[in-house]
Amino acid sequence: MKKTLLLILVSCYCHLLPAPERRELLIVNNNAINAYDRLIEAIVHVETDHGKVLYNPKENAVGYFQIRQIRVDDYNWRTKSNYKLSDFYDYDLSRKMFLYYTKDRSFEKIARSWNGSGPMTKIYWSKVKYHMS
């Protein structure tokens, strides 16, 4: 009888205790993972040796991804933007443009189309693939 009474009292007491009021999850360190990070790093290495050469006068290509005016024109037309070629010296903007062209494609197709068209894109893909490993 005493055990039963004690059990009832403890149970009632537990119901009087307040529950924590916060119901959200706190993430202390959020290092976002992008599936294209390895590909991006490899392309930046192949294009500019990790940012050492950000302008190619032969192709009038700029920035980490060596973007040309025709790509800027296409990107502006597709996204209703108004960027200039010189804007793409900025890494974050260049990366944003690069990621725009990656939708639903394999790494090989992304890299080869980034380089242009034709048989030279196979050599380009080989270089990119080497720097991804």
* Beta partners for residue 61, in sequence order: 56
Residue 1 lies inside a defined structural domain of this protein: no
CB atoms within 10 A of CB 47: 24
Residue 77 lies inside a defined structural domain of this protein: yes
Q: What is the CATH number of the domain that holds 60?
A: 1.10.530
Residue 7 lies inside a defined structural domain of this protein: no
**Tokens at 9, concatenated:** 């009292």
Q: pLDDT by residue (tens digit) across 87-102?
A: 999 999 999 999 999 9
Q: pLDDT by residue (tens digit) across 1-34?
A: 777 766 676 666 666 666 667 667 666 666 666 7
CB atoms within 10 A of CB 125: 19
Q: Which residues contact 50 (CB under 8 A, 6 or more apart)?
A: 44
Residue 9 lies inside a defined structural domain of this protein: no
**Tokens at 19, concatenated:** 């529950």
Q: pLDDT by residue (tens digit) across 31-57?
A: 666 789 999 999 999 999 988 899 999
Do residues 101 and 93 make contact, with C-beta atoms less than 8 angstroms apart?
no
Residue with more model confidence, 85 or 9? 85
Residue 24 lies inside a defined structural domain of this protein: no
Q: Which residues contact 46 (CB under 8 A, 6 or more apart)?
A: 124, 127, 128, 131
For residue 49, what are the domain limits?
A: 33-132
Tell me what pLDDT residue 116 has.
Answer: 87
The residue type found at 79 is T
